[in-house]
Structure 1
């Protein structure tokens, strides 16, 4: 198994959660999402982001609005729907549980005998 592939797979697993979290803070343009994800070292490209955004929109978790831009064509800004907020809450619960489980395994308080 290739370590780089393992890292990519781990990051992919939390990408949807991270995207919904970014959008939950307010209207956001896709390139701003890419910048934040990249700065957090969750590497993603437009070819991955846009299909994921479409899938989340089709599931009813996101909506968007077009905003005129002075520097080019209108921009699509994404927002979380009520259903998306509920889904994100569930993901938070799952993340907290998963994080606790992983910490229990990687940092045991007592050694196994």
Structure 2
């Protein structure tokens, strides 16, 4: 079930990790796994398309660096930080709505045909 919930929120979560500092793809995947307590294992087949979408929209930028290995390092942009703040606010409203719904007193459904 975590995979289904992750699918619609992966870009927001990537931005949240990049808000902590620039990172290459493997470090991003590891950051997501660590920050989620092991809940989110993001395969490359999901991570890199999301990174490319974020880069196309200007939410992140990337550059090749050489630190013993040639790696593409991703950085959040000002536009990405703004998007992250908007998505955090929307997520909080959604989470509050879910929490309110789950905390509502149980109502017994009406029995039909009685």
TM-score after normalising by structure 2:
0.83
Q: Give structure 2 stretches of 5+ with no counterpart.
A: 109-114
Q: Is the 8 A contact 2:55 2:61 kept in 1?
A: yes
| Shift in Å, 1:24 | 1.0
1:99 and 2:73 matched = no
Please tell me whether the aligned partners of residues 2 and 40 of structure 2 are also in contact (alpha carbons under 8 angstroms).
no
Does residue 1:78 correspond to 2:74, yes or no? yes
Bigger helix fraction: 1
Determine the C-alpha separation between the residues in 2 that align with 1:21 and 1:82. Answer: 13
2: CA distance, partners of 1:24 / 1:66: 19
Deviates more, 1:28-37 or 1:94-103: 28-37
Q: Which has the larger radius of gyration?
A: 2
Query: Using the alignment, how far apart are the partners of 1:78 and 1:107 within structure 2?
Result: 40
1:45 aligns with 2:40: no
Moved more, 92-101 or 33-42: 33-42
Query: Equivalent residue for 1:68?
Result: 66
**After the TM superposition, which segments of 4 or more aligned residues of structure 1 sit over 6 Å from their partners?**
none
- The Cα shift of 1:16 comes to 1.3
Report SS of the residue matched to 1:77: strand
Shift of 1:42: 1.2
* TM score, norm. by length of structure 1: 0.84
Counterparts of 2:3 and 2:64, CA distance in 1: 32
More displaced, 54-63 or 37-46?
37-46
